[in-house]
Chain A
Amino acid sequence: MANARSRFWVNITSAFFVIAIVILANLALGGMRWQFDLTEDGRYTLPEAAKRIAAGLDDTLTVTAYISEPLPSYLEFVPRALQTRLEEFAAASNGNFQFSFRSPENEPGLAAELEKHTPPIKPYPLADFVQGRQTTGSYYLWLVFRYGDQESAYHLLEMREALAREGEFLRLLPFQIASKLVKVRNPEAQIGIVSEKKTPPPELQQQLGRDPSDGLAQLRDIIGKHLPPPRDVDLRHGGQIPDDIDMLLLYKPDALGEAETFEIDQFLLKGKRVVVLLDNWSSFDVDRVREWQSGLQSGTMKMRPLQHGMSEWLSHYGVVASPGLIEDPEFSASSVSVNMEVRQDPATQRMVLAPVERRRRISGLLLPQERDKDRNVTGQFSETSPALAGLGRFGMAWAVPLQVNEAALLAHGKSANGAANARAEGLVSTSRGAFVRTITDDNVPVWSEQQSVAPDKTTVGSHPLVVQVSGRFRSAYVGRKWGEDERPPRKGPDGSALPAMPNTAARLDESLEPGQLWVFADSDFCSDYAALTARNLSSQDSMVALQLAMAGFVNVMDGMLIGDDLIEIRRPNIKDRSVDSKSVDDERGSILWQAVGLTPVLLLVLALLWWMLRTAGTRRRTGAEV
């Protein structure tokens, strides 16, 4: 009995001893991050490109994380996740990346010091629950980057809903940090935007504000996160492009004259970058929201024609822009609910204005996806172009018919020995069944119940939607003389001719440095109002395609200005791996059978087989015994 009791105590003591060792081992391991990332694209590992950016620091960069202690319950993972990522950056930086955590709650006087910072670093009110009771507290969630005399602050709340989801936070954080490193190291990379701002109609001013808008607020916001905020450039009436602009974005150019295109030409020949978002028709503008809504009901929309005035200049660089618009029966098949009606919401039992499930084809909408030789969607546009790799779709609306005429480019894009030193390439294209529809009365079809038919078979074929032209060029204006300083005359506000703008800079006839010109067949994909319309229509396909087109567009600009590293870091979300919705709809029954029905049937068959084997075995044994 005494032996049993002592054995009991030995067992209990050794159990407690082992548990203590296990707890200590877990505590020790908890501080270490030995991880194996099994995802195909290493989504949760610091990307090589981010390491390259960190390794490229040639001076000390400090990151100070001003993080409140404690944080709301749903953000408690943030300090640990942030520390993990910052440690990875520090490890890759050869000692030039240093970071520290500071909590204004634990350091008296720090809050007042941060208040004086430019811009002020303030706590942000966030809701929390403490023991079941809702409370609101103010929390610091800031990162401040300092590099030489450059400083940039990043508010983690800019990550929005991703901040509250650990997986998304870990995935996006390397890009956010790397983009700040790029921003403080490249303070000179400046984008200029040429666009026309319009005032919202009075009835929409309450909703959209009163300030004139070009619909590029979202784009400016995205660019401003990792580059200096884009600056407006006014080319009208002989305005010039400032010297510190590195890339010029022409958004929906309208009625450009020779003086403006000459200015753009000279800018390109300096080895700078030009991106043109072209349109033949103005559809998504702040002053046209009503037209769009009525167009959805009637089926046609009175569009405002645009005379971009760039055809001649573009054709010199091998890009032929024609009138009309592209329709693609294959890639415009994304249907949307176009009728709205008041009905009862089954979830809330309230009356709501909601789209009716009457699906129609938006004939001018293009949602191209690249396909392989077997006509299967590949899931990404280009493995070779970093800007477009990983993008599964693209969204454009009423695109301009473009063609690439490389011969026209090579007629002047040649070096002294005759070798080509310029090239033009279409990177995103429609299907081979696309065609050009010529519009004669400004009434552009919005939707149709039937399949679109090409009015003119000669235009049927694959049309490029994004064209890249790069290399050294000869000016489109070589040999043209306008006056003493050989510059084209300006137009006054009333359209009258004015004398050429006095300019002391030498006129360029050939590229000083290799330049880049990108032409997009549409401008709407980055318009705030196009995104708003897609949301109102509840068109998931359109929303995703527009977002991906915008991502591709931002990639293009980043690639031109700061290299490909940031593009490489921007990994697609796992949620971007969409299923082939048409096949899923068509094969719903077979999916249900494979995924739900097959296993139970298989298990029942196996159970039956096992039972038969067992019965046979028992019989054999019984027989042998008998």
Chain B
Amino acid sequence: MNTIAWKELRSFLNSPIAYIFLIAFTGWLAGSYFVWGKVGQGVTFFSVGNTSLDVYFSLVPQAFVLLIPALAMRLWPDEIKSGTVELLMTYPVRSWEVVCGKFLAGIWLIALGLLFTLPVPWTVGAYGDLDWGPVWGAYIASLFLGGAFLSIGLFMGALCSEQVTAFIVTAAICLLFVLMGDTLINLFIPKGLHALSNALSFSSRFNYLGRGVVDVADTFYFGSVTAVFLMLNVTVLETRKGA
């Protein structure tokens, strides 16, 4: 599994996509927070006037909805298109090891991206009394959210042979998970569905963790969504292998 993960990571780093991902991710977050302001709010660090990084980390789901599907879309469709997936299946590795290897490579890259955002809290901390608790909470939340998005992307990639299709479908599903439970969205759906929408929501759990409160139920939810989509991915591979 580690061999596959390392191979995938190396292939990421050998291609410009990893650098584009990292620069786009960190640039989007820092640019939005320090230069042009959060979309629709125009709030920047200079106008907020305090050390709360709520606004900064609230940009993470937005960035992930676009960037993680872009990252995930090359993990399976490339292999399917070039036919290397059949070759991979002939190796003495189990399907779940291949899936987890690819997932690990993606999550390392996401973790690397998050690591490169550390200059922002350091900078803010240098100009005021920063509470690092919510910052670590937001990093934990981002990693869990990234993992869940990545697993959805991997599953969709295994289903679709076209990168663009995989990207669009993954982004749409991730967006749905982010929007569910949002107060604004709840205003437009029947009251009877609110409980279900709130229960499935990624954003309310992300915000809760981002406040610096690690709730076992929230982390378990993210973990179980990730595990379910990885398992579905294994099922698709097994089915493909059988066919």
Nearest CB in chain B to that of A36: its residue: B214
Which chain B residues border A598 with CB–CB below 8 Å?
119
Does the CB pair A8–B242 fall under 8 Å?
A: yes
Does the CB pair B34–A35 fall under 8 Å?
A: no
Cα distance A577–B34 when bound, in Å?
18
Does the CB pair A577–B23 fall under 8 Å?
A: no
Q: Does B228 contact A (CB under 8 A)?
A: yes
Known A-B contacts A15-B231, A76-B194, A604-B19; A26 and B221 likewise in contact (beta carbons under 8 Å): yes
List residues 379-436 of chain A with CB under 8 A from any CB of chain B.
Answer: 379
Partner of A580, one of B26, B128, B204, B213: B128
Does the CB pair B239–A8 fall under 8 Å?
A: yes
Does the CB pair B187–A596 fall under 8 Å?
A: no
Partner of B123, one of A19, A73, A76, A594: A594
Which chain A residues border B119 with CB–CB below 8 Å?
594-595, 598-599
Interface of B is mostly: helix
Partner of B137, one of A19, A38, A128, A610: A38
Which chain A residues border B220 with CB–CB below 8 Å?
25-26, 29
Partner of A11, one of B23, B129, B239: B239
Does the CB pair B127–A603 fall under 8 Å?
A: no
Known A-B contacts A8-B239, A602-B116; A577 and B35 likewise in contact (beta carbons under 8 Å): no
Cα distance A364–B79 when bound, in Å?
73
Q: Which of A3, A574, A580 has the most CB of B within 10 A?
A: A574
Cα distance A591–B199 when bound, in Å?
39
Cα distance A58–B239 when bound, in Å?
66
Does the CB pair B228–A19 fall under 8 Å?
A: yes
Does the CB pair A44–B235 fall under 8 Å?
A: no
Which chain A residues border B133 with CB–CB below 8 Å?
37-40
Nearest CB in chain B to that of A588: its residue: B46
Count the A-B residue pairs with Cβ separation under 8 angstroms: how many?
185
Which chain A residues border B86 with CB–CB below 8 Å?
none
Cα distance A15–B33 when bound, in Å?
42
Cα distance A19–B225 when bound, in Å?
9
Known A-B contacts A8-B239, A581-B49; A38 and B186 likewise in contact (beta carbons under 8 Å): no
Which chain A residues border B221 with CB–CB below 8 Å?
26, 29
Cα distance A109–B211 when bound, in Å?
41
Does the CB pair B128–A131 fall under 8 Å?
A: no
Q: Which of B134, B189, B211, B228 has the most CB of A within 10 A?
A: B211
Q: Does B51 contact A (CB under 8 A)?
A: yes
Which chain B residues border A76 with CB–CB below 8 Å?
186, 194, 198
Known A-B contacts A578-B51, A578-B128; A37 and B27 likewise in contact (beta carbons under 8 Å): no
Does the CB pair B129–A577 fall under 8 Å?
A: yes
A455 to chain B, nearest CB (A): 35
Cα distance A583–B49 when bound, in Å?
12
List residues 118-145 of chain A with CB under 8 A from any CB of chain B.
Answer: 128-132
Q: Does A217 contact B (CB under 8 A)?
A: no
Which chain A residues border B54 with CB–CB below 8 Å?
574
Does the CB pair A36–B50 fall under 8 Å?
A: no
Nearest CB in chain B to that of A541: its residue: B49
Q: Does A626 contact B (CB under 8 A)?
A: no
Does the CB pair A600–B49 fall under 8 Å?
A: no
List residues 218-243 of chain B with CB under 8 A from any CB of chain A.
Answer: 220-221, 224, 227-228, 231-232, 235, 238-239, 242-243
Does the CB pair B132–A7 fall under 8 Å?
A: no
Known A-B contacts A131-B188, A574-B52; A44 and B30 likewise in contact (beta carbons under 8 Å): no
List residues 150-190 of chain B with CB under 8 A from any CB of chain A.
Answer: 183, 186-190
B131 to chain A, nearest CB (A): 5
Q: Does A116 contact B (CB under 8 A)?
A: no
Cα distance A3–B239 when bound, in Å?
11
Known A-B contacts A574-B131, A595-B30, A595-B120; A579 and B49 likewise in contact (beta carbons under 8 Å): yes
Q: Does A74 contact B (CB under 8 A)?
A: yes
A258 to chain B, nearest CB (A): 48
Q: Does B41 contact A (CB under 8 A)?
A: no
Which chain A residues border B87 with CB–CB below 8 Å?
none
Q: Does A592 contact B (CB under 8 A)?
A: yes
Q: Which of A4, A19, A129, A578 has the most CB of B within 10 A?
A: A578
Q: Which of B13, B122, B132, B187 has the most CB of A within 10 A?
A: B187
Does the CB pair B27–A584 fall under 8 Å?
A: no
Does the CB pair A131–B217 fall under 8 Å?
A: no
Which chain B residues border A40 with CB–CB below 8 Å?
131-133
Q: Does B14 contact A (CB under 8 A)?
A: yes
Q: Does A512 contact B (CB under 8 A)?
A: no
Which chain A residues border B127 with CB–CB below 8 Å?
579-580, 583-584, 587, 591
Does the CB pair B242–A578 fall under 8 Å?
A: no
Q: Does A43 contact B (CB under 8 A)?
A: yes
User: 27 A-B contacts, Cβ less than 8 Å apart?
Assistant: A4-B242, A4-B243, A7-B238, A8-B242, A26-B217, A30-B217, A33-B217, A34-B217, A35-B214, A38-B133, A39-B134, A39-B213, A40-B133, A41-B131, A44-B211, A74-B186, A130-B191, A131-B189, A166-B207, A575-B52, A576-B50, A578-B51, A578-B128, A579-B128, A583-B127, A584-B45, A595-B45
